[in-house]
Structure 1
Amino acid sequence: MILALLGAIFIGLSLGIFGSGGSILTVPVLLYLADMPANTAIASSLLIVAFISLFGSWPSVRKRLVSWPHVWLFGIPGMIGAYLGAWAGGLVDSRIQLAVFVLLMAVAAVFMWRGRSVDKPAQQINIAKVITDGLVVGAITGFVGVGGGFLIVPALVLLGGVPMVRAIGTSLLIIALKSFVGFAKYYSVLTDQGLQFDWPVIAMVAAAGIVGSFAGNFIGTRLPRQALQKGFALFLGVMAIIVLTQSVL
């Protein structure tokens, strides 16, 4: 369990530094370090990510570095998408979810590696694209049990015209909204199937992740973001290979 808590701190660190990325590690942490079954690990990760993101957004809220119109513009379609994705996820074999999860980790690694490409905001807000992206990202991330910040941050900057400094806190609030909704649907589906959730583990991992997110917010202003981001991208690639070989193939 100590390893699971250390993994949760690392999840929070990434969310605090980048506004994304860490949540995609929650499923591997629950699978391999907390010994959860795949279906409950995917569902539990959404609740853990929701709490970490909600508390992790507080420094940005306090500093007024959140674009509230984008929280709702992206977040409401994201909640709808997460609900539908979680519904679909509860009906399929967990290996299919993990296969999609591996693909998503690979995409996340590419986005994190090429993170500098989202530094220039668009001149105009494309409302239709932001709403559509929120719906699609919500569905994908609800299906595999991740927050999807690595997709939300570029969408907010490139499609929504949100400055990068505001995109991180905005992303965390959007992640929290749709993750809570996604978990609620998973909970309904899985409990109907007679499955049980390990609430003490969920609480401990979430608490450790919250601590990590505050530390990440502090560290992110003092260390070179690009070097950290590229290192994390490589780590995501390695984790994708591990999940593929250990749980999918």
Structure 2
Amino acid sequence: MLWLVLILAVVVGLFVGLLGGGGSILTVPLLAYVAGLPPEQAIAGSLFVVAVTSAVALLPHARRGAVQWRVGAVFGVSSMAGALLGGLVGARLPGALLMVLFAVMMVASAIGMIRGRKPVDPATAPTPLRQSLLQGLGIGVAVGTVGAGGGFMVVPALVLLAKLPMGRAVATSLMVIAMNSAAGLGGHLTGTSLDWSWVLPVTGAAVVGALVGAPLTHRVPQQALKKGFGWFVLVMGAFVLVREGLALLG
């Protein structure tokens, strides 16, 4: 079982490095259903794994000069505030309800990935700072509460926020996701603890995947990969929603 979890964790890290997201969407089910952790520990563990993995995946992008530090800092600080608040709320919700909310986030993220988004007109003015801060706050609340959804909301937000090209948005999103996840984890740790016997090996395996995936960002067709990944996440989300919804009702 441990080897299966580690192999899947490498896949998680690979998607984090390639897409600037997807880690939490896969890590929570991995820890909850394959490793067998309670929902509260699975979500907290996912936030730790994604925080570390995103920070490591950020390094190759930073060496290439692809990270927009100022944009990431502005967006990340507001997201951290929301993530801490979300983590404090999530730490006090029943595990079954957390998993239902997580599944809803999975389905919403999957639909967004499958539909894609319209190209941004470079002539359009950047998003006003106040609106950007509110977007960051809202994304942070979602990430902190259920431990999922950050990457595939942060990348589009950065494209609209500062008109970043896709490669730079993916790189900068890793900075924001690391900040979000760390803040959300702080909130969740007020109500649960981390099972280090699972979290540390999964983190190590995910880091390996992220280091492999990050340099390949510009060599892989992002839209095709994201759409295929979206269909997989949609199926997974529907499964989690049905399973946890029945448990919540029962």
The TM-score normalised by the length of structure 2 is 0.92
Asked whether the equivalents of residues 13 and 216 of structure 1 are also in contact (C-alpha less than 8 Å), the reply is yes
Asked whether the equivalents of residues 24 and 148 of structure 1 are also in contact (C-alpha less than 8 Å), the reply is no
> Is it true that 1:70 corresponds to 2:71 in the alignment?
yes
Q: What amino acid does structure 2 have at the position aligned with 1:223? A: V
| Alpha-carbon separation, structure 2, partners of 1:119 and 1:206 | 35
Q: For residues 21-170 of structure 1, what are the structure 2 equivalents within 5 Å?
A: 21-117=22-118, 120=121, 122-146=124-148, 148-170=150-172
SS of the residue corresponding to residue 124 of structure 1 reads coil
| Alpha-carbon separation, structure 2, partners of 1:40 and 1:179 | 14
Q: Deviations over 1:14-72 (max 9, x none)?
A: 11111112321110000111110011111111011000000011111111111111111
Match of 1:183 among 182, 185, 202: 185
Q: What amino acid does structure 2 have at the position aligned with 1:158? A: L
Q: Deviations over 1:102-152 (max 9, x none)?
A: 111111112222335356554324211110011000011100012601000
* CA RMSD in angstroms, aligned pairs only: 1.6
Q: What amino acid does structure 2 have at the position aligned with 1:134? A: G
Residue of structure 2 in register with 1:230 after alignment: 227
| Alpha-carbon separation, structure 2, partners of 1:119 and 1:107 | 21
Gaps of 5+ in 2: none
Q: Deviations over 1:167-223 (max 9, x none)?
A: 111100111012111112211222xxxxx4210211111111111112112333333
Residue of structure 2 in register with 1:9 after alignment: 10
| Alpha-carbon separation, structure 2, partners of 1:18 and 1:115 | 13
Asked whether the equivalents of residues 130 and 160 of structure 1 are also in contact (C-alpha less than 8 Å), the reply is no
Shift of 1:158: 1.4
Asked whether the equivalents of residues 147 and 179 of structure 1 are also in contact (C-alpha less than 8 Å), the reply is no
Asked whether the equivalents of residues 61 and 215 of structure 2 are also in contact (C-alpha less than 8 Å), the reply is no
Asked whether the equivalents of residues 113 and 230 of structure 2 are also in contact (C-alpha less than 8 Å), the reply is yes
| Alpha-carbon separation, structure 2, partners of 1:223 and 1:185 | 36
| Alpha-carbon separation, structure 2, partners of 1:77 and 1:210 | 26
| Alpha-carbon separation, structure 2, partners of 1:165 and 1:120 | 16
The TM-score normalised by the length of structure 1 is 0.92
Residue of structure 1 in register with 2:175 after alignment: 173
SS of the residue corresponding to residue 82 of structure 2 reads helix
Asked whether the equivalents of residues 82 and 143 of structure 1 are also in contact (C-alpha less than 8 Å), the reply is yes
Gaps of 5+ in 1: 191-195
Q: Deviations over 1:61-117 (max 9, x none)?
A: 111111111111111111110110011011111222111111111111122223353
> Is it true that 1:240 corresponds to 2:237 in the alignment?
yes
Q: What amino acid does structure 2 have at the position aligned with 1:54? A: A
| Alpha-carbon separation, structure 1, partners of 2:58 and 2:167 | 12
| Alpha-carbon separation, structure 2, partners of 1:120 and 1:214 | 32
| Alpha-carbon separation, structure 1, partners of 2:109 and 2:97 | 18
Residue of structure 2 in register with 1:193 after alignment: none
